[in-house]
Amino acid sequence: MSTTTEPTGAPKLTDELLAFIAEWKSRPGSLIMVLHRVQQTFGYIPRAVAFEVAELLDVPLAKIYGVITFYNFFKLKKPGRNQIQVCLGTACYLRGGEDIVHAVEKQLGVGLNAITPDGEFSFEAVRCLGCCGLAPVMTINGKVYGKLETGQLPAILAKYRQV
């Protein structure tokens, strides 16, 4: 497999990831493990890194793309600096999760599964965060906001913008 022609400065495998790949290379299931670690490092699977992983694991690039487009967990685009997840699981949906989605969209000026042009926020809907008693729920960078009302959103988002 060839390497990519992304401009210099494009993400490259770190030494830590190279060591991880060397350790996992010959074990079954290594591809998923490596891809998880890549996403942990970069927040997504950079195209150039996917090429590198294909070469090092001797796995066809098409197979890697089959995997990373199949699982919603894997991201192909660099996420925003702050990552918002709004729950649309059954409980949150019934308690107005959709209203939260629309309100966040209005606040950010972008739709679901998008990144704001300034790169500050990325925004996605998820299925159940495991705290249905707090419905409707939203998380930002892993911090949980429960029993959420749309009126609270401007203040919450402003806090992250300022950081």
Exactly one of 7, 9, 15, 70 binds another protein (CB under 8 A); which one? 70
Please, which residue, 60 or 109, has the CB nearer to another protein?
60
Helices and strands (DSSP H and E) totals, the chain: 7, 5
- Tell me how far, at minimum, the Cβ of 8 lies from another protein, in Å: 15
CA dihedral 130, 110, 38, 13 (to 10 degrees): -160
CA 27 to chain centre: 26
* Residue 127 in the binding site for another protein (CB under 8 A): no
- 132 in contact with another protein (CB under 8 A): no
Rg (Cα) of the chain, in Å, rounded? 18
Q: Which of 12, 18, 22, 69 binds another protein (CB under 8 A)?
A: 69
Q: Is 63 in the site for another protein (CB under 8 A)?
A: yes
Is the peptide bond preceding residue 136 cis, with omega within 30 degrees of 0? yes
Which of 63/161 has CB closer to another protein?
63
